[in-house]
Amino acid sequence: MGLSESLNSVARHGPQGRLSLVGLSALGIVFGDIGTSPLYTFKTILGAAGTTPDAGAILGALSLVLWTLLIITTVKYVLFAMRVDNDGEGGILALMALLGVKKKNRPTIVAFGLFGAALIYGDGAITPAISVLSALEGLNMAAPALQPYVVPASVVILLALFAIQSQGTTAIGHLFGPVMLLWFVTIAVMGLLGIARHPAVFAALNPAYGLSYLFSSGTTGFLVLGAVFLCVTGAEALYADMGHFGSRPIKLAWFAVVFPSLILNYAGQAALVLDGASTEGNIFFRLCPDPLLLPLILLATIATIIASQSIITGAFSMTRQAIQLGWLPRLHIKQTSSEGYGQIYVGVVNWLLMIVTLGLTIGFGKSDNLASAYGIAVSLTMLMTSALLFIAMREIWGWSLLAAAAVAAFFLIIDGAFFLANLTKVAEGGYVPLVLAISVYGIMWIWHRGAAAVSARMRESLIPIPQFMADIAARQVPRVPGTAVFLTRTEQDTPPVMVWHVKHNRALHEHVFVLRVEILSIPWISSSNRLTIEEVVPNVWRAHARFGFMERPHIPELLSVSKLLGCTIELADVTYYVGHETVIRRQDGEGLPAWQERLFAVMERNAEHVSDFFRLPNDQVVEIGRQVAI
- Collect all residues with Cβ–Cβ distance below 8 Å to 60 and sequence separation of at least 6: 204, 209, 210, 212, 213, 214, 217
- Among the listed ranges 340-349, 503-512, 571-580, 611-620, which one has the minimum average pLDDT value? 340-349
- Collect all residues with Cβ–Cβ distance below 8 Å to 505 and sequence separation of at least 6: none
Give dist(CA 31, CA 69) in Å, integer.
13
Give dist(CA 499, CA 384) in Å, integer.
46
pLDDT top residue among 412 and 326? 412
- Collect all residues with Cβ–Cβ distance below 8 Å to 439 and sequence separation of at least 6: none
Which helix (H) or strand (E) segment is 187 a member of? helix 176-197
Which helix (H) or strand (E) segment is 33 a member of? helix 32-35
Q: Do residues 513 and 543 lie in contact, with contact meaning Cβ atoms separated by under 8 Å?
A: yes
**3-state secondary structure labels for all residues of 111-125:** HHHHHHHHHHHHHHH
pLDDT for position 6: 39
Mean pLDDT of the residues in the chain: 87
Angle at CA 42, nearest 5°, toward 36 and 44?
A: 100
Give dist(CA 124, CA 76) in Å, integer.
21
Question: What is the pairing mode between strands 540-547 and 479-488?
Answer: unpaired
What is the tens place of the pLDDT at every residue in 484-497? 999 998 888 898 88
Q: Is 90 helix (H, G, I), strand (E, B) or coil?
A: coil
**Same CATH fold assignment for domains 3-429 and 455-629:** no
Q: What pairs with residue 107 in β-bridges?
A: none
- Among the listed ranges 9-13, 91-95, 476-480, 516-520, which one has the minimum average pLDDT value? 9-13
Tell me the CA distances in angstroms from 492 to 33, 453, 485, 507, 532, one per residue in order: 47, 18, 15, 22, 13
Give dist(CA 433, CA 231) in Å, integer.
18
What is the tens place of the pLDDT at every residue in 524-567? 888 888 999 999 898 899 999 999 877 888 998 888 888 777 78
Break the chain into its structural domains and give their ranges.
3-429, 455-629
What is the sign of the dihedral through the CA atoms of 369, 371, 374 and 376? Answer: negative
Straight-line distance from the first to the last Cα atom of the chain, in angstroms, rounded to the nearest whole number: 43
What Rg, from alpha-carbon coordinates, does the chain have? 27
Give dist(CA 209, CA 195) in Å, integer.
18
- Collect all residues with Cβ–Cβ distance below 8 Å to 52 and sequence separation of at least 6: 279
pLDDT band at 339, cuts 50/70/90?
A: low
Give dist(CA 333, CA 346) in Å, integer.
5
Q: For residue 425, count CB atoms less than 10 angstroms from its CB and return exposed for 0-12, middle for 13-18, buried for 19 or more.
A: buried
Tell me the CA distances in angstroms from 629 to 72, 277, 462, 601, 625, one per residue in order: 48, 69, 16, 11, 13
pLDDT top residue among 181 and 313? 181
Q: Do residues 450 and 603 lie in contact, with contact meaning Cβ atoms separated by under 8 Å?
A: yes
What is the strand order of the sheet 574-584 is part of?
Answer: 531-537, 540-547, 508-519, 479-488, 574-584, 621-629
pLDDT for position 8: 38
Q: Is 319 helix (H, G, I), strand (E, B) or coil?
A: helix
Q: Is 159 helix (H, G, I), strand (E, B) or coil?
A: helix
Average pLDDT over residues 281-310: 92
Q: Do residues 533 and 562 lie in contact, with contact meaning Cβ atoms separated by under 8 Å?
A: yes
Q: 348-366 b/e with 16+ CB inside 10 Å = b? A: ebbebbbebbbebbeebee
Report, in this order, helix, strand and coil percent for the chain, each rounded to 5: 70, 10, 20
Average pLDDT over residues 465-493: 90
Give dist(CA 471, CA 473) in Å, integer.
5
Average pLDDT over residues 400-419: 95
Average pLDDT over residues 294-298: 95
pLDDT for position 183: 97
pLDDT for position 5: 37
Nearest to 40 by CA among 119, 120, 122, 132: 132
Say yes or no to pLDDT of 84 above 70: yes
The CB density around residue 605, as the number of other CB atoms within 10 Å, is: 12
pLDDT band at 520, cuts 50/70/90?
A: confident
pLDDT for position 153: 95
What is the tens place of the pLDDT at every residue in 221-277? 888 899 999 999 888 878 888 877 888 889 999 999 999 999 999 999 999 999 988
Question: What is the pairing mode between strands 508-519 and 531-537?
Answer: unpaired
pLDDT for position 108: 84
Q: CA neighbours within 13 Å on the CB side: how many for 190? A: 26
Give dist(CA 437, CA 377) in Å, integer.
8
Identity of the residue numbered 177: G
Give dist(CA 358, CA 541) in Å, integer.
53
Q: Do residues 360 and 129 lie in contact, with contact meaning Cβ atoms separated by under 8 Å?
A: yes
The residue count for the chain: 630
Question: What is the pairing mode between strands 540-547 and 508-519?
Answer: parallel
Q: 59-89 b/e with 16+ CB inside 10 Å = b? A: bbbbbbbbbbbebbbbbbbbebbbebbbbeb
Q: Do residues 262 and 169 lie in contact, with contact meaning Cβ atoms separated by under 8 Å?
A: no
Q: Do residues 334 and 109 lie in contact, with contact meaning Cβ atoms separated by under 8 Å?
A: no
Q: Do residues 521 and 102 lie in contact, with contact meaning Cβ atoms separated by under 8 Å?
A: yes
Which helix (H) or strand (E) segment is 524 a member of? none
Say yes or no to pLDDT of 195 above 90: yes
- Collect all residues with Cβ–Cβ distance below 8 Å to 581 and sequence separation of at least 6: 454, 604, 626, 627, 628
Give dist(CA 387, CA 371) in Å, integer.
26
Q: Is 348 helix (H, G, I), strand (E, B) or coil?
A: helix
- Among the listed ranges 122-126, 134-138, 499-503, 581-585, which one has the minimum average pLDDT value? 122-126
The answer to whether domain 3-429 has CATH 1.20.1740.10 is: yes
What is the tens place of the pLDDT at every residue in 592-602? 898 999 999 99
Q: Phi and psi (nearest 5°) for 579?
A: -95, 145
What is the tens place of the pLDDT at every residue in 98-126? 888 766 678 888 888 888 888 888 877 88
Q: Do residues 524 and 550 lie in contact, with contact meaning Cβ atoms separated by under 8 Å?
A: yes
CATH class of segment(s) 455-629: alpha beta
Say yes or no to pLDDT of 571 above 90: no
Say yes or no to pLDDT of 523 above 50: yes
